[in-house]
Structure 1
Amino acid sequence: MRSQSNVVNIDQQERPNRDTNSSTSEDSEESLPDSSEEARAPLTRRPQSVQEDEILHDVNEEENENARDDQPFTKELTKSKRKIPKERRKTGSFHLFNSVNLFNQLLLYAFLLLVFAGFLNDFILSYIHELIPESPPLPDFAFSILPYWPWALIVSEVLMISSFSVMLTVAILHKHRWPVLRRIFTIGFLLYLGRCATMFVTQVPVADPNYYCSPKLKPEERTFWNILVRALSVLIGLGLKINGRHTLCGDYIYSGHTIVHVLCYLFIKEYSPSRWLPLHILAFAFSSVGVLSLLFSRGHYSIDVIIAYWITTRIFWFYHTLADFDELRHSFNGRNRFVNVIWYPLFNFMEQSVHRPLPRKYELPFKLPAGLIRYWQQRRGRSNSAGYLIV
C-alpha cells in the first residue's frame, strides 16, 4: 500500500511538469512560422535599409534631447522661428554695421548682386559682339510658321515694363515687403548669372537679319576699356531696344526678356490672394503675349525662350519650396537633395530670418496722417449708422 501511494504521489508531481512542458512545446510550435505559409505571404513592407535606421536613430536622439530641454524655452524657440519680422527695425543688427539692421543688409546684398549680374551680362555681351558669326539665321520651327513683325519687339518690351511695374507695386504694398523684394533680387541674380555663362560659351547668328548691330571693333581697338565703356552704355539703357541703346548682338541663349516676363507673372501670382483672379489673368496674358512677340519679331530663337522658361520656373519653385518648409533646410543624412543645388548657401544666407510661408497680407509702406484716419473712421461710422437706420 505504501508503494502504491508513493507511485500515485510521483504521478501527481510529474503531471504538472508534463502539462507545463506540453504548454511550452505548444507555444514554441505556435511561435515557429510555417515555412510554406511564410513563402506564400505577400511582402507588404520592405525591410528598412541601413540609412533609414540611421535616420530613425538620429530622429529619436533629437526627440530625446528635446524632451530633456525645458518646455517653456522650446515653445519660445518654436514661436520665434515661426514669427516673421514685421519691420526692418525689429530684426536685430549685424556685427559689421551696428547702425544697419539685418533686413537692410540682406536687401542691400541682394540688390548689389542683381546689379553685378546685370553688369556682367552686358560686359559679356560687349565681348561676344565681336564673335558673332556673320551667317544666315539658324532654322527655327517657330520662324517657319509665325509671321515676321519687326515692331513686335517694342510690344514685348512695353508689356515687360508694365508687368514689372505691377510686380513691384504688389511687392511694396505687401505686409512683408522686404523679404519679397529680397527674393526678387536674389532669384533675378541667379537667373542672369546663369545667362552670363550660356552667352559666353555659345554664340549663334543673329535671328533677325534686319536688326541693326553696331559695327565690330578693329583688332587694335579691342581693349578692355573699350569693351567696358560699351557695356556701361548698354547697362544705362537697361538692355532695352525701346531706349535706343541696345545695338549689340549675341545675347540669345537664353532669353533675358523671357526671364522678366515669366518671373513677373510668378511673383504676382505667388504674393497676391487667389481671389484676385482678374489680376492673375491679366499678368498671364501680358507675359504670354510678350513672349510670343519675341518670336514674331525674331528677337530670340525658340530654344532661347524654352530654356529661359524652364530655368526660371525651376529656380522660382525650388527657392520658394525651400523657403516655405523649414524642414527642407536639413540634409537628413543626404536624403534631402534640395540642399545639393549650387545656390543653396546663398539661399540659406538670404532666408535666415524667415522660416515659414509669407502670408498674403497688405499694408501701406507709410503711415497716414492721424487727421485723415479719424476722418475716414468717422465717415465709415456715419455710413454704417445710416445703413442701419434704412434697414
Structure 2
Amino acid sequence: MAASELIEEDEVRIPVEANVTSLNSPAQTHPQRVANGNPTHHALTLSPPADDHDGTNRSERSGLCSLVLIQSLNRKLKRRCEYEKICAKEEHTDRLPNEWWKTGVAFLYALFNLVFTTVVITIVHERVPDKSVSPPLPDKFFDYVDRVPWAFTVTETNGLILVGLWLIQWLFLKHKAIVGRRCFFLIGTLYMYRCVTMYITTLPVPGKHMVCAPKLYNDSRGKIWRILRLISGGGLSLTSSNLMCGDFLYSGHTVMLTLISGVICILVGHEHYSVDVVVAYFVTTRTFWWYHTMANTHTSLFIRDEFPLSLVFNSISAQELRGAPNNYLSRVWWNPVFNFLEKNVQTTVPVVFLSPRALLSSCKERYHTIGIERDE
C-alpha cells in the first residue's frame, strides 16, 4: 500500500455551502452597475437576513460542518494508525528477508568444500609414512589414558544424533533461510581450513591399532573410486567408508560436534592427536563467534532507548557499523562474502519456531503460489 494513495483517500472533504439563502427571504442579489451601464461580475450585494430563523439555520449548518470535520479527522487518524502499523510490519519483515537463493549459494559452497576435503584426504593418504618407519608421535593424553575401542563409535553416533536434531530444529525455525546459509558458510569455511592444514603437514598415524588402506600411487581410477566411496559413506568409520589415514590436523569430527562427551571420546579412542582436537575446537568456536559478532554489530553498539543519544545510533545503518574503520573484525578475508550473505539482514535474528500446523500452512501456501505462477 503506497502512502500517497492512503493520504489521497484520507483527504478531509468539508462540504461548503455557498450562496444559500432561506426560502422565506425575498432578498435577491443584483449585479452592481457602473457608469457605462455594464454590470460587474465580482461585486455582489447580499441582502440582510429576513428574520431570526435564517440565523438559526446558519448555526445549525455551522454545527453540522463541525461534526463532519471531526468525523473526517477521526477517520483520517484511524487510517493513519493502521497505515503506520502496516508500515512497521513491512519494515520488520524487510529487515529479515529470506533470500533463499543466497542460502542455495552457501549450500553449494559447503558442498564443494566437503567434496574437496575428500580429494585432499585421498592425496594425503599417499604421503602418510608407514607405521614401522614412523611410529606415532608422543601424546600426553595417550600416556595417561588407555585406548577404548568402542569410544570412537560413540563419537560418530553422537555426531549423527546432533545432525538429525539440527535438521528437525532447522525445519521449524521461522528464519530458517538466514540460519541455514550461516551454518553452510561456516561448515564450508572450516573444512576449507582443514584442507590446508592437512595438506601442508602430514602427521603419522596416532596409534598402531589403525588400519590404513593400501596406497594406490599412480592409479587415478582407483583414487576416484575411493573419493566416491568416502562421499557416499559420509567419511564415517561406522559405514566403513573411511579407511584412509592422514586427515588428522585438525579433527573434522570435532568441527561437527558440540557435545564435550563426543570430543573426549575422540581422544579416548586414540583416533586423533590431542593437538588435532584442541586446534579444531579453537578454530571452530572462534570462527563461529567471529561471524556472529559481525552479524550482530548493528545491535551490540546501540545505546539503551532511555538515552537521547540512542536516536543518533539508531539512525546508523548496519552496513556503516560493519564497515567502520575501527571494526577490526571486518579485516578477515571472507568479509566480502559475509557482506554478500548479510547485506539485507538489518537486525538480530530472533529464535522463533513455527508450530507444525503453521509450517504445513506455509508449505501449502507456497505450493499454491507456485501453481498459480506456472498456470500464468
**1:261 partnered with 2:252:** no
Opposite residue 178 of structure 2, the aligned amino acid is: P
Query: Alignment partner for residue 357 of structure 1, among 339, 344, 348?
Result: 348
Partner SS for 2:126: helix
- Which residue is equivalent to 2:291? 319
Call closer, same or farther: CA 1:112–1:364 in 2, change over 3 Å. Answer: farther
* Equivalent residue, structure 1, for 2:266: 294
1:220: Cα distance to partner?
4.0
Q: Which amino acid aligns with 1:346?
A: V
| Distance across 1 between alignment mates of 2:213 and 2:104 | 35
**Closer, same or farther: CA 197–81 of 1 in aligned 2, 3 Å:** farther
From 111, 121, 128, the counterpart of 1:115: 111
Write the letter of the residue equivalent to 1:257: H
Q: 1:78 to 1:141 in 2, by over 3 A?
A: farther
CA distance in 1, matches of 2:280, 2:239: 23
Match of 2:302 in 1: none
With normalisation by structure 2, the TM-score equals 0.63
Distance in 1, matches of 2:360 and 2:150, equals 47
CA distance in 2 between partners of 1:297 and 1:253 (Å): 16
- How far is the alpha carbon of 1:345 from its aligned partner? 1.0
- Matched with 2:13 is none
Aligned-residue offset at 1:175: 1.5
**For residues 89 and 360 of structure 2, what CA distance do their matches in structure 1 show?**
37
- Give the counterpart of 2:231 among 235, 242, 247: 235
Report the counterpart of residue 310 of structure 1 in structure 2: 282
Separation in 2 of the partners of 1:188 and 1:109? 13
Contact 2:139/2:274 (<8 A) preserved: yes
Superposition deviation, residue 178 in structure 1: 1.2
- Is the counterpart of residue 245 in structure 1 residue 241 in structure 2? yes
- Cα pair 1:140 1:301 within 8 Å, conserved: yes
Q: Does the alignment pair 1:331 with 2:323?
A: yes
1:206 maps to a residue whose letter is V
Distance 2:106 2:359 in 1: 29
Q: Calculate percent identity across the aligned residue pairs.
A: 33
Q: Does structure 1 conserve the Cα–Cα contact (< 8 Å) formed by 2:118 and 2:227?
A: yes
Match of 2:332?
341
- Aligned with 1:175: secondary structure? coil
Q: Using the TM superposition, give the Cα deviation of residue 80 of structure 1 relative to its aligned residue in structure 2, in angstroms.
A: 3.7
User: In the TM superposition, what is the alpha-carbon distance from 1:320 to its structure 2 partner?
Assistant: 0.7
Q: Is the alpha carbon distance of 1:220 and 1:315 closer, same or farther for their aligned partners in structure 2, counting shifts above 3 Å?
A: closer
The aligned counterpart of 2:31 is none
TM-score by structure 1 length? 0.61
1:349 Cα shift? 0.8
Mapped contact 2:119–2:227 kept (Cα < 8 A) = yes
How far apart are the structure 2 equivalents of 1:233 and 1:243?
Answer: 10
**Counterpart position of 2:203:** 204
Distance 1:202 1:163 in 2: 30
2:176 corresponds to? 177
How many aligned positions are there? 255
- Is residue 2:162 matched to residue 1:166? no
Q: Establish whether residue 126 from structure 1 lines up as the match of residue 122 from structure 2.
A: yes
Whole-Å separation in 2 of the counterparts to 1:214 and 1:191: 26
Which residue matches 2:143? 144
Deviation at 1:122, TM superposition (A): 0.5
Aligned residue identity for 1:141: K
Contact 1:331 1:337 in 2 (8 A): no
Contact 1:322 1:329 in 2 (8 A): no
RMSD, aligned CA? 2.6
**Alpha-carbon distance in structure 1 between the residues aligned to 2:322 and 2:176:** 26
Classify the secondary structure of the residue corresponding to 2:129.
Answer: coil
CA distance, structure 2, for counterparts of residue 138 and residue 232 of structure 1: 31
Q: 2:96–2:349: 8 Å Cα contact kept in structure 1? A: no
Relative to structure 1, the CA distance from residue 78 to residue 342 in structure 2 (aligned partners, 3 Å threshold; closer, same or farther) is farther
Contact 2:151/2:268 (<8 A) preserved: yes
Partner Cα separation in structure 1 for residue 170 and residue 332 of structure 2 = 26
C-alpha distance 195-369 of structure 1, shift in aligned 2 (>3 A): closer
- Any idea what the Cα deviations from partners look like across 1:286-320, whole Å, max 9, x if unmatched? x1111001001111100000000001111101111
| Aligned mates of 1:298, 1:214 — CA distance in 2 | 18
Aligned to 1:44: none
Equivalent in the alignment of 2:6: none
Question: How far apart, in 2, do the equivalents of 1:369 and 1:179 lie?
Answer: 20
Q: Distance in 2 between matches of 1:200 and 1:78?
A: 51
Amino acid in the other structure paired with 1:356: T
3-state secondary structure, aligned to 1:226: helix
CA distance in structure 2 between the aligned counterparts of 1:190 and 1:369, rounded to whole angstroms: 33
SS at match of 2:257: helix
Contact 2:96 2:346 in 1 (8 A): no
Distance 2:183 2:237 in 1: 23
Structure 1 gap ranges (5+): 1-75, 89-102, 263-286, 371-391
Distance 1:254 1:365, change over 3 A: farther
Q: Which residue of the partner structure matches residue 373 of structure 1?
A: none
Unmatched runs of 5 consecutive residues or more in structure 2: 1-86, 299-317, 362-376
* 1:200–1:366 Cα change, 3 Å: farther
In the alignment, residue 314 of structure 1 is paired with which amino acid? R
Select the structure with the greater relative contact order (CA < 8 A; seq sep ≥ 6): 1
Structure 2 residue aligned with 1:67 = none
Pick aligned residue for 1:104 from 100, 107, 111: 100
